Amino acid sequence: MTDTPQPSFLQRVIRKLLGAPIATAHAHHERLGPFIGLPVFSSDALSSVAYATEAILQILVLLSAAALSYQIWISLSIVILIVIISISYQQTIHAYPSGGGSYIVAGDNLGELVGLIAGAALLVDYILTVSVSVAAGVAAILSAFPAVKTAIPDAHVTISLLCVAVIGFANLRGLRESGTLFAIPTYGFILSMIGVIGYGIYCLAHTPTLPTPVVRADDLLGKEAHFLPLFVVLRAFSAGCTALTGIEAVSNGVQAFRAPEAKNATTTLRIMSMLLTVLFLGLGYIALHLPEHYASFSIHSSSHPQYITLTAQVAAFAFGLNSPGFYIVQAFVAAILILAANTAFADFPRLASLISRDGYLPRYLSRLGDKLVFHNGIVVLCVASAGLIVLFKGELDQLLPLYAVGVFTAFTLSQTGMVVHWYKLKNEGWIHRASVNAVGAILCFIVLLIIGFTKFTEGAWIVIVLLPIIVATFIAIKRHYRNVAARLQLESELDFTAASSHKVLLLVPRVNKGVVTALDYARQLKGDIEAVHVTLNERTLPDLQRKWSMFSSDIPLVVLPSPYRSLITPVLDYVDELKQSQPGLTITVIVAESVSDRWYHRLLTENVAQQLKNSLAKRPRVVVANVRYFLN
């Protein structure tokens, strides 16, 4: 009885880290309900509360201090947009329960090319989501603990890369496990923000006067202050629209939910939208009425020595600066900013699998791993986002201009696609539903134009240039797969009359048990057998010939000289000579390989079989087989 081969050292380490594999039959147990689905798919959208209102204020102050009062109206308009897009994506979930979001909707209703543009935009957005979210979270940590900057070289980049690796590792362990891991920070952020907003409003209600903040904007006035006021307001609106990033995530991952999938996904989307609306408006209301002492730093840039974030200002007003409540809020804000990357880790691999399934990305991206996650997509996302962090040195100011172009491109195409979808169906109530999507498409397109124009020179051009390159790559990959399929297509009638002859070449470096085992395999093949020896040492040749005649006198031994001491070149030349003399000949080259049960013993052996496979790869009708003899 043969012992079952033991897994390698590396395989044991990976299994220990990632946990036991999950059978396909248990896939339904790994699906998510709304409680775990919320932290998995909404951390990106909810985390935007921490910076969206502040982004609005930092643009409005370029006009004047009085312009800050526009913030609440801009916030209300963004909330309306959130509601419209949320309703649209609820309709998308029920219309396309297989998932895919903007990619599927745009492709089905606007054409293949438009669908690819939407898919490319979302993939870029997910990569940027990881980079931006992690960079923002690490910036918050380093602001609270500046000593870390001096203790760790390139602390921002180093810690950011570590965070990407940890989040990627958690997702490789499985969707449910990553959701459970991230549930505490997500729900902690929700509860802490509800607490600080609720208590902040209570404090405002008991404040005798609510003076309008006096904002000193002298040092920030620049060329943008000379723009038309309407343009500045629109730019502030577009800056605040970062609050919408991540809304489409649930519609992309419908199949990650338990049955009924559409119902659970819709419930999760509604809860997310409601929380996003409450937190966004609540924080905006308090920011508008903060006393001057707390609001005086709201418009300073992040490089200003007195800068503190808006959430920190509100927490300081509600609970007191340096109080336990203040640090709790800051801790959960930093956590949610970093873990916002998890939304991308949940959706990027799933979207990539859909595009791969259609033939526009490498097929290995569509394969589920043994933990029932698209592990190859997770690895690709880790590498791509880490590359961006290194390239831009983790600087949030350089990453943010790239951020929103992709998501609003996908929003616009998805909304437009849903309008066409309702027009095709023309079922009851289709005009009302199409109108909601049409309004969303127009608003998203306006925001996209504003972002593209105002942020073009700051880095948005990179995404604008990158999208057509990615789409062209999609098309090239599809063309390659079509060409391969055409070449492999079976004809209606196959001609077997011209069957070729077969020759088996057994490489014999020396005569031992491994070679004899390989010879036994060669005898089972149909074809002429030749033993081939490449001579590197003339003195050992007579002894080898004597031993070979003892064990297999019926198999001729061909001796190939090697004047340049190469094992591979003489074999290649001999194979080429045989092919030239017999063009239809099929050749099988057999290499005997001794295998030890110790992984480090492999460092002492030369893998001739792999070298031959690489060298003979482009020669038609040539097969390389290695027959293993296990030493244990």
Name the strand (E) or helix (H) holding 15.
helix 9-18
pLDDT for the residue numbered 29: 42
Q: In the predicted model, what is the mean pLDDT of residues 128-155?
A: 75
The model's pLDDT over 531-548, given as tens digits with 9 standing for 90+, comes to: 999 888 888 888 988 988
Give residue-wise pLDDT tens across range 277-296. Answer: 999 888 888 877 776 544 44
Contact (CB, 8 A) for 85 and 244 = yes
- Of the pLDDT bands very low, low, confident and very high (cuts 50, 70, 90), residue 210 is very low
pLDDT band at 470, cuts 50/70/90?
A: very high
Q: What is the pLDDT of residue 400?
A: 61
For residue 499, is pLDDT > 60? Answer: no
- What is the reported pLDDT for 531? 93
- Range in 42-56, 199-213, 310-324 the model is least confident about: 199-213
**For 505-524, b where at least 16 C-beta lie within 10 A, e where not — what string?**
bbbbbebeebbebbbeebee
Check residue 600 and give its pLDDT.
65
Give tens-digit pLDDT for 76-106.
888 888 888 888 888 888 877 776 578 888 8
Average pLDDT over residues 172-183: 64
pLDDT over 70 (residue 602): no
Higher pLDDT, 130 or 631: 130
pLDDT tens digits, one per residue of 392-431: 776 655 666 666 778 888 888 988 998 998 888 888 888 8
Q: C-alpha angle 297/302/303, rounded to 5°?
A: 110
pLDDT above 70 as % of the chain: 77
pLDDT tens profile 345-380: 878 888 888 898 888 998 888 877 655 577 788 889
Q: Is the pTM of this model over 0.85?
A: no
Residues 6+ apart with CB under 8 A from 282: 193, 194, 197, 198, 200, 201
The domain 502-630 is classified under which CATH number: 3.40.50.1820, 3.40.630.30, 3.40.50.620, 3.40.190.10? 3.40.50.620
CA Rg value for the chain:
32
Q: What is the pLDDT of residue 291?
A: 66
* Predicted confidence (pLDDT) at residue 54 exceeds the cutoff of 60: yes
Q: Calculate mean pLDDT across residues 459-481.
A: 87
Running DSSP on this structure, what letter comes out for residue 460? I
* More reliable by pLDDT, 292 or 510: 510
Question: Mean pLDDT over residues 192-215, rounded?
Answer: 72
Taking CA atoms, 474 is separated from 361, 460, 477, in Å, by 6, 22, 5
pLDDT at position 157 is 84
Using left for φ > 0, alpha for ψ between -120 and 50, and beta otherwise, residue 313 falls in alpha
Please tell me whether the peptide bond between 229 and the residue prior to it is cis, using omega within 30 degrees of 0.
Answer: no
Q: φ, ψ for residue 531 (rounded to 5)?
A: -90, 135
Query: Where are the domains positioned within the chain?
Result: 29-100+123-187+213-279+337-404+437-481, 502-630
pLDDT of residue 82: 87
